[in-house]
Amino acid sequence: MQNQPDRPIHFLASIDKYFISEDGDTAVANGLNVAILGATGAVGGEILSLLEQRAFPLSSLKLIASPRSAGTRLSFKGESLPVESLEEAAFKGVDLVLASAGGSISLQWLPRAVAAGAIAIDNSSAFRMDPSVPLIVPEINSQTVHQHQGIIANPNCTTILMALAVWPLHQVQPVERLVIATYQSASGAGARAMEEVKQQTQAILAGDPPAVEAFPYPLAFNLFPHNSPLNDLGYCQEEMKMVEETRKIFSAPRLRITATCVRVPVLRAHSEAINIEFTQPFAVARAREILAQAPGVRLVEDWHRNYFPMPIDASGQDDVLVGRIRQDISNPNGLELWLSGDQIRKGAALNAVQIAELLATKPGVEAPLTR
């Protein structure tokens, strides 16, 4: 990673910031100075809500956004907090930056935040494949959280949702190949895209032509392959994120993965159809038993009613809903499953906050959190 400090900088200046709980864990006692970069966006707003809902240990909270959003006020714990403009002094005195402002902003500003003494958890794709940057789903590879050099990456939303469902099975029996089809909601493109779908729906129902800005084509009453750039093999950027990021998170560089990503006219929460090929047969009943106990997963199956995970049920939920687990009739070593998960919540904001919680609470009392 470029623009890194030459020497380690303590994240927390003193062990005095910790207290020892009854179960022996060490946690931040006095709270952290936290900044949300991209606070006025859909994910930034969700991060703000989650910090309050999960009682994250805060000493201070700074809201940062683009100059055009400066002066906006957002509610937190009954108080009205001002949104500050992104500038050089924005990260002074900040311990932790939760960033969700896009890749170009992250590339430009997060090294500066690190140089100012902060740790940054980034929701963009800017640093995900950097070998020096941990790419973390806390339910899978939380042990890598302290291997950072100032920046920790949050995976892509579709990768997070899929990984939560596949990892528990992979731990029992190695996965040989994944074939994935995604059904991605407007929320993946942010608040403006969600509003655009609403407006397009109203326009089409009124017999008017739908306005198109956030997406290249109308999404209301329509769907199309994901609109991220295509490579020479015909795979879009979103599909390659799933391939490369999953291999990094699983520490499985040779895992065979292919994906087809599709935008669908759903406001919030993504869905995925996943075909999993193992090294040998995997009993459906055993897979169902494992996923019913897996952290971050909720099994949703009612075969008599043909009721399985749906985005309308997953919206606003922390867990990824997984169901319709069945034998692949074309492959004795294959299983099929279906999932829906909230892209804004577990697919972005919640995962970032969970990473922050790992930094704020750790087992043992050997030393302060450092980088």
Helix or strand run (H / E) with residue 199? helix 191-205
Output the CA torsion sign for 9, 11, 14, 15. negative
Q: Phi first, then psi: give them for residue 314, nearest 5 degrees.
A: -80, -25
Q: Give the E-state strand segments of 185-290 in sequence order.
A: 224-225, 256-263, 270-278
Output the CA torsion sign for 307, 181, 192, 41. positive
The conformation of residue 4, written as its DSSP 8-state character, comes to -
Q: Phi first, then psi: give them for residue 288, nearest 5 degrees.
A: -65, -40
Q: Phi first, then psi: give them for residue 175, nearest 5 degrees.
A: -85, 135
Of 157, 170, 226, 261, which is the active-site residue? 157
Which positions ≥6 away from 130 have C-beta within 8 Å? 1, 151, 153
- 10 carries an active-site annotation: no
- 270 carries an active-site annotation: yes
Residue type at 329?
I
Output the CA torsion sign for 360, 363, 364, 367. negative
Neighbours of 367 (CB within 10 A): 11
Strand order through the sheet with 361-363: 18-20, 25-28, 361-363
Distances (CA, A) of 196 to 66, 187, 199, 203: 21, 11, 5, 10
User: SS3 sequence, 16-30?
Assistant: HHEEECCCCEEEECC
Of 148, 170, 226, 270, which is the active-site residue? 270
Residue 274 contacts residue 165 (beta carbons within 8 Å): yes
Q: Which two tokens stand for residue 200?
A: 């397009």
Torsion of the alpha carbons at 263, 160, 153 and 17, rounded to the nearest 10: 130
State the Cα–Cα distance between residues 244 and 225, nearest whole angstrom. Answer: 19
Q: Which two tokens stand for residue 13?
A: 């200046």
Report the catalytic residues. Answer: 157, 270
